[in-house]
Structure 1
Amino acid sequence: MRADRLVSLVLLLRRRGRLSATTLARELEVSTRTVLRDIEALSAAGVPVYAERGRHGGFELLPGFRTELTGLNHDEALALLVAGSRRGAQVFGLGSALASAMLKVVDALPESYRDTAAGAVERLLIDPETDLLSRRLDAEDLPDTIVGEVRRAVFAGHKLRIHYEAVGQAPKWRTVDPIGLVTVREQGYLLAARSGADRTYRLSRILAAEELAEPAQRPDRVDLGRAWQERSVQFRTGGDPVTVVVRVNPNRREELVGTAVALLAEEADADGWLRLTVTFQDSRHAEWALWQLSTNAEALSPQGLRAGLRDRATAIASRYATP
């Protein structure tokens, strides 16, 4: 356990530079006293770690220090192999690189770990191509040349020129400041800024891409998880919001709430069903969400939504009325 912690300590210092004892203790989940003892042990072993005193002081490695720290334990190797089985790398055009890296990881493992780790991976299936209802996930077929150009601009921090085909619009060129890449359910997205405004682009709609030499206007650090959450909220709350009062079978409540933008009120009806007041992005979104629930939900208001669902049901019934 201590050997793993010492390796982690050195890796933290190599990656992030000067860190205080408090920060190291928090990252390693130990006390500051333990960190100080570990620093002494590293110094005694010849690792060039030194202390910088003062308000912004901390511990740091001598510039240029490098050492080989390739001793993976069994769980670390298993975690890498499991990560390598995910298909996100395919979306970002890194499939072949990932396969090559996994071969190197397996080859570098101690023989005692190699067989057991490989055997364990065979008993874990991550994101299969179909779910229990045999619904196939729609994986996007993205040209490596386009995705590679986008990826290089993201990592290099350069502006990116893309020929983009938005929904219902003719393709046109636009220059953006790339921020990061996100993959969700086999679909890839580019998070970027354009003229200072946040933009999200579907990778499959980028018809051509060109990395520019000009530096991108973007923050040095980014929290992609938070950025994606904020853009998801913006997307769901855009349009012309509509508030709906709906009765729903309790067994389908979570499905309804999960598709709505917000749940405003909830109460139980006498027959055991639930009466909810929810907000949807627009009337089209509301009609789609309630149609998925079939007879397990009933929209009470607005009347326009009830009429839309009735007309849709009537059209379906008419289509199947005759043999």
Structure 2
Amino acid sequence: MPAWRLITTPCVAYCLRVFAVRADRLVSLVLLLRQRGRLSATALARELEVSTRTVLRDVEALSAAGVPVYAERGRHGGFALLPGFRTELTGLNHEEALALLVAGSRRGAQAFGLGSALASAMLKVVDALPESQRHTAAGVAERLLIDPETDLLSRRQVVDEVPDPVAAEIRRAVFAGHRLRIRYAAVGRPPTWRTVDPIGLVTVRDQGYLLATRAGADRTYRLSRVLAAEELAEPAQRPDRVDLDRAWQERGTRFRAGGDQVTALVRVHPVRREDLVGTAVAVLAEGVDPDGRLRLEVSFQDRRHAEWALWQLSTNAEALAPPWLRTALHDRATAVATRYRPCP
């Protein structure tokens, strides 16, 4: 192969990717203006996750292409489309269609690196509706808030962050049935490269997991700990069909049966039950004490996890057993009380 081809081929591929990304962004810009009316450059930049300078360049490109975008000056000005303009650019691409399939949970899409695709797909879906339905849908959507980022106490929900290139490479390998090479950072260990046979992707409580096998043994990898990924050309060694729900349950059973897990007996106020259950690995038994408090037998990943979980509940929970857990919480509380002892 000539030397010039070795140099230019990656450049051409890069340019094509850039053009594809910009084309999707231009379509999203037009759909935003169609559905929301006049928007400032700052608002468009925020929605499209680009700079205001990029928005201005995109508006100029749309105008040159014949899209009737016009600017309104003044304090409440911005960009808008001429009334009645309609575009037929509403076809969903593969990533957007996939995002809609997992849109039952907005954070599920984010966990798999499909958050931006979901936003773009929803714009196209709304734009494809008839005029009368589009306004009705927009009004209804404004009155529904599903799975907000914070709860009533303004506690922000923790969502695994997975870089888009890493998530995309993992998805491609899973869907194509190819082997996958990942650089994985297990807890307490230096990152290492490993080659796996991907089976499927699972999201639980806003955390994404890759189910795979390695040398024939079942493995589960947390997506946020995958630092890099590379889809290989060789086919994955896996069955043609899979029951992911059953596979996840079986792995959960094996996980709870082994490792460094600990079991604790806890008294908890009913209003904090879900907080305890939400952080525990499993609930083994549950009852009600005469005073109305709940008595639960729960398991945790290890000692550190148990101590952390009970500490978060403050006086709303009490560890009854094992003794070492009571001692650990007592020592921590004593240290905090000592630190904040009133000055003489």
Which TM-score bucket, shorter chain as reference? 0.5 to 0.7
Task: State the one-letter code of the partner of 1:147.
Answer: A
The residue that corresponds to 1:51 in the other structure is: none
1:177-226: CA deviation from partner (whole Å, max 9, x where unpaired) = 11112233443221211112221212222222111111111122222233
The residue that corresponds to 2:327 in the other structure is: 307
Q: Does 1:170 align with 2:190?
A: yes
Residue 289 (structure 2) aligned to one of 259, 268, 278:
268
Aligned CA distance change for structure 1 residues 105 and 275 (closer, same or farther; 3 Å): closer
Task: State the one-letter code of the partner of 2:168.
Answer: G
How many residues are aligned here?
A: 244
Alpha-carbon distance in structure 2 between the residues aligned to 1:81 and 1:178? 20
Residue 124 (structure 1) aligned to one of 130, 144, 147:
144
Task: State the one-letter code of the partner of 2:284.
Answer: L
Q: Does 1:206 align with 2:226?
A: yes
Task: State the one-letter code of the partner of 1:224.
Answer: L
Q: Which moved more, 1:148-157 or 1:183-192?
A: 183-192
The residue that corresponds to 1:142 in the other structure is: 162
Task: State the one-letter code of the partner of 1:161.
Answer: R
RMSD: 3.1
Q: Does 1:238 align with 2:232?
A: no
Alpha-carbon distance in structure 1 between the residues aligned to 2:102 and 2:215? 40
Aligned CA distance change for structure 1 residues 205 and 251 (closer, same or farther; 3 Å): closer
Residue 239 (structure 2) aligned to one of 214, 219, 235:
219
1:61-104: CA deviation from partner (whole Å, max 9, x where unpaired) = xxxxxxxxxxxxxxxxxxx6994882433333334433443333
- Cα drift, residue 162 of structure 1: 0.7
- Cα drift, residue 298 of structure 1: 3.0
Structure 2 unaligned residues grouped into runs of 5+: 1-99
Q: Does 1:319 align with 2:339?
A: yes
Aligned CA distance change for structure 1 residues 143 and 285 (closer, same or farther; 3 Å): closer
Q: Does 1:86 align with 2:106?
A: yes
Contact 1:241-1:280 within 8 A present in 2 as well? yes
The residue that corresponds to 2:315 in the other structure is: 295
Q: Which moved more, 1:138-147 or 1:211-220?
A: 138-147
1:1-54: CA deviation from partner (whole Å, max 9, x where unpaired) = xxxxxxxxxxxxxxxxxxxxxxxxxxxxxxxxxxxxxxxxxxxxxxxxxxxxxx
Contact 1:160-1:178 within 8 A present in 2 as well? yes
Task: State the one-letter code of the partner of 1:193.
Answer: T
Q: Which moved more, 1:80-89 or 1:111-120?
A: 80-89
- Cα drift, residue 137 of structure 1: 2.5
Task: State the one-letter code of the partner of 1:153.
Answer: A
Contact 1:150-1:160 within 8 A present in 2 as well? yes
Report % sequence identity. Answer: 74
Alpha-carbon distance in structure 1 between the residues aligned to 2:229 and 2:282? 34
Structure 1 unaligned residues grouped into runs of 5+: 1-79
